[in-house]
Structure 1
Amino acid sequence: MGGSNTWPEAGYAEREKLFQQHVTYQQGMVWYLANDPAVPERVRTFTQKFGLPKGEFTETGGWPHELYVREARRLLTDYVMTEKNCRRQVEAPESIGLASYQMDSHHTSRVIIDGVVKAEGCIEGHVKEPFPVSYRSIVPREAECSNLLVPVCLSSTHVAYGSIRMEPVFMLLGQSAATAAVQALEGRTSVQKVAYPKLRARLLADGQRLDWPLP
């Protein structure tokens, strides 16, 4: 907890160091749960059944080659997705897909309250129904970059990103970004100047779901 705080601004060497620290932490935690006499026997017995996949990541002893990074730098555009979008209090314009997962973020630190150690910073906000993600949240400001679409590190607050960051949403935003890129090329224009009505029509024709409830 807190071990990833320097990741966004770190260079390759520092990120490798952070990666190895996380590996050591996970290995140590599993060993402790499986072997330390301070852990209840039923927990140790249960944990001792865990194992690494024998046929995967063979070059690194069964451990994944990369660290899972959920969130670091994100785009800042003229439209920032927020919690109000997730709660449908504000409707995001120019929908290019729907997200629906809860606004979920892990703990950030531990504090001592009345002599008891407690974790803080966890967010688990309910999303009642799917909500649209705006095309403007994946398109940089043209004065900053005119030839880029960013469907993953999109313009979003930390809370809203906790919902949008699910892999199926990245896939559908990627499809929408690819469609916009083709239309920009065909129209000999920038991605910022792609006509949304034309983009929307093509996405719907391809089976994309842009509104909820479904029409």
Structure 2
Amino acid sequence: PAADYDARERIWKAHENYIRGLFHAMAHGRDPRIPAGLQRDVRNWGLVRGRHTDCHPADTPGWSPQLYVREARRLDNGLAWSGRDVSDIDGVPPRLPSIVAMASYWQDSHAASRIAVRDERGQWGIVNEGHFMLPAGGRYQRSPLPFELMVPHRDQCTNLMVPFCVAATHQAFSTIRMEPTSMALGEAAGTAAALAVIDRDRVDIQDVDTYRLQQMIVANGGVIQGVTNWELLQRKLKHRLDRLRG
């Protein structure tokens, strides 16, 4: 994440060369461990026609011009929202009450490496190291995300929110990183920014009234802890009817 453009270009080309070399080895390599049927299949593969043709001179036509970077820097404010937090066990309140968005995706991490090993019969196989695929969310399959997830320490910055590179662990980020979740956190950040300057009364972003923020998010159709605006209105109406009857 700290690399300059030249260094990022070298990193990207190293990945491209590795992948190109892997396919070449699978198609033409003489290693007896490569099945002949697999080699025949790989030899029939090629670049997609008509894709990535108008590319930079340093790029290869037919190959994606960008390297997919799933995660890099993340906010460090001491919160470290974790895999346990996004599991959202039914009936257990979240670690923080200031929930402003919900994630809804599995906790998943791609394998860091694939290792060739032999079993007790001497047969070769592949072991994936670093991979996990775990459910997230409880009955609603939603994971609660608090306002503090995207707010730095006050002594570091008072006018910044980070709705994507949030203060989460690697495991929790695997759930939070999805685009719809980024949209929900982005809406919460935008609403919080409006609250910070409303009525010309400027406050530090850490001083935003999170209860009022939650009310505005729900009023705009957002979902917090499985409660929609319609459900909230139903509860308010029932409460008022009960008062009238009583």
User: Which bin holds the TM-score, normalised by the shorter protein?
Assistant: 0.7 to 0.9
Query: Where do 1:109-120 residues align within 5 Å?
Result: 109-110=113-114, 118-120=127-129
- Counterpart pick for 1:178 among 190, 202, 205: 190
CA offset digits 1:145-165 (Å, max 9, x no partner):
111110110000111111111
1:75 aligned partner: 75
- Counterpart pick for 1:104 among 99, 108, 114: 108
CA offset digits 1:122-145 (Å, max 9, x no partner):
121222421111110101111111
Q: Matches of 1:177 and 1:86 in 2, distance apart?
A: 19
CA offset digits 1:18-74 (Å, max 9, x no partner):
111111122223344455574433564367255335144521413223211111111
Query: Normalization by structure 2: what TM-score?
Result: 0.73
Query: Normalization by structure 1: what TM-score?
Result: 0.83
- Counterpart pick for 1:143 among 155, 161, 167: 155
- Specify the SS of the correspondent of 2:151: coil
Task: Please tell me the root mean square deviation across aligned C-alpha atoms, in Å.
Answer: 2.6
Give the conservation status (yes or no) of the 8 Å contact 1:33–1:44: no
- Counterpart pick for 1:41 among 27, 37, 47: 37
Give the conservation status (yes or no) of the 8 Å contact 2:108–2:134: yes
The Cα of 1:199 is off from its aligned counterpart by 1.1
Give the letter aligned to residue 217 of structure 2: L
Bigger RCO (CA 8 Å, 6+ sep):
1
Q: Matches of 2:196 and 2:85 in 1, distance apart?
A: 27
Q: Taking structure 1 as reference, are residues 180 and 10 closer, same or farther at Cα in structure 2, changes over 3 Å only?
A: same
Which ranges in structure 1 are unaligned for 5 or more consecutive residues?
1-7
Q: Matches of 2:176 and 2:9 in 1, distance apart?
A: 27
1:3 aligned partner: none
User: How many pairs align?
Assistant: 208
Whichever of the two has the greater Rg, that structure is 2
